[in-house]
């Protein structure tokens, strides 16, 4: 019998696949249930190295399907949830806010209600851990301030509004029903297996193919960047050691203007491809800024460090070089992603499950 039965939602996505891999390999006495709808951003090719492990189970389902969520809680005797499944791209949320409200708000509510009903007030050794974003806090000025766990919510996009709403539901289920919950808000992640609509893999691929590098406005927006494996280790630590009903901010103390980050990417990709230094600088193309584009995000992770001892393990330049190498060495993965072939393959593979 498994020591723990943990449901990880969105486990075929970017961050989720790293969390699934870590938990499967680190805890052979746990059953890790990877729940993913396999939308465009979910890719089981991210997990081929652990798919045959005896403590790993994949379930294809939609978190908005409440009856299915209840069924899975019963089937796998779920006692812990690590909830990562979400629509997360701001540009997509501007074009289609309904999808973001459905998945991020109603999907979270579906999972919370399933946990409430199936745990039936027996909350010993149970946990609903909800992963959120720093974008719920709004924007910072260039004044050295940082987002803390007590920063007032001020979402500016349909994406961040949907995540803010889901955060509130998680906390409300603790306050109303006593469900043990934890919420974490993380800064921008980067690393292997990220879907190439996001800045870093998109630009690596565009440099490789000599395509334009579209930069919003003047590229002066600032983000705090964290290597995805460091985030996965933080999630593992918080799941096991975090305090119930607490919020923890997870960040890299690693702020970069977009244009400066892009120049580091260009330099690194050109070097690894054997191009002359600066050969791809001419690909930078400035485009009209997007609506509601927040100026600056920056996370204060001192609470997590002081209480649980976590801090990032990689320096940014080291993490970026490792990331660029991974994408260049895994061009088949990238080509399948951008062609959509993996979607057809896994849809046919799991359509009868």
Q: Which residues are catalytic?
A: 134-135, 159
Other CB atoms closer than 10 Å to residue 26's CB: what's the count? Answer: 11
CA distance linking residue 17 with residue 27, whole number of Å = 15
User: Exposed, middle or buried, 175 (CB in 10 Å: 0-12/13-18/19+)?
Assistant: exposed
The DSSP bridge pattern shows strands 255-257 and 56-60 to be unpaired
Task: Tokens 């809680």: give the residue.
Answer: 73
CB of 85 closer than 8 Å to CB of 36: yes
User: If phi over 0 gives left and psi between -120 and 50 gives alpha, with beta otherwise, what is residue 146?
Assistant: beta
Beta bridge partners of 224: 255
Taking alpha carbons only, the member of 351, 337, 341 closest to residue 17 is: 337
* Dihedral sign for Cα atoms in the order 329, 330, 332, 337: negative
């Amino acid at each position: 019998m498994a020591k723990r039965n943990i449901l990880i939602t969105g486990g075929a996505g970017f961050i989720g696949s790293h969390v699934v891999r870590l938990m499967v390999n680190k805890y052979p006495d746990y059953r890790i249930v990877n729940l993913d709808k396999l939308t465009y951003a979910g890719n089981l090719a991210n997990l081929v190295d652990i798919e045959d492990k005896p403590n790993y189970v994949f379930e294809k389902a939609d978190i908005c399907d409440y009856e299915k969520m209840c069924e899975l809680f019963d089937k796998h005797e779920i006692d812990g949830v690590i909830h990562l499944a979400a629509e997360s791209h701001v540009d997509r949320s501007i074009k289609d806010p309904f999808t973001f409200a459905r998945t991020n708000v109603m999907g979270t509510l579906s999972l919370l209600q399933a946990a409430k009903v199936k745990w039936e007030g027996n909350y010993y050794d149970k946990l609903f851990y909800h992963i959120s974003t720093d974008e719920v806090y709004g924007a910072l000025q260039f004044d050295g301030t940082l987002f803390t766990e007590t920063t007032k919510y001020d979402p500016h996009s349909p994406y961040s509004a949907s995540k803010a709403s889901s955060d509130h539901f998680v906390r409300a289920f603790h306050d109303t029903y006593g469900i043990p919950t934890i919420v974490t808000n993380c800064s921008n992640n980067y690393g292997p297996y990220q879907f190439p609509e996001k800045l870093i893999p998109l630009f690596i691929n565009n440099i490789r193919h000599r395509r334009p590098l579209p930069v919003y406005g003047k590229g002066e927006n600032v983000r705090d960047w964290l290597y995805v494996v460091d985030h996965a280790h933080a999630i593992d630590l918080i799941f096991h050691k975090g305090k119930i009903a607490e919020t923890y901010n997870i960040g890299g103390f690693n702020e970069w203007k977009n244009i400066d980050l892009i120049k580091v990417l260009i330099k690194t990709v050109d070097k690894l491809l054997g191009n002359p230094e600066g050969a791809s600088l001419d690909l930078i193309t400035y485009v009209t800024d997007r609506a509601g584009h927040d100026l600056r995000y920056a996370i204060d992770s001192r609470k997590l460090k002081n209480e649980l001892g976590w801090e990032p393990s990689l320096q940014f330049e080291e993490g970026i070089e490792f990331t660029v190498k991974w994408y260049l060495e895994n061009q088949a993965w990238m080509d399948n992603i951008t062609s959509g072939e993996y979607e057809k393959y896994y849809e046919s593979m799991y359509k009868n499950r």
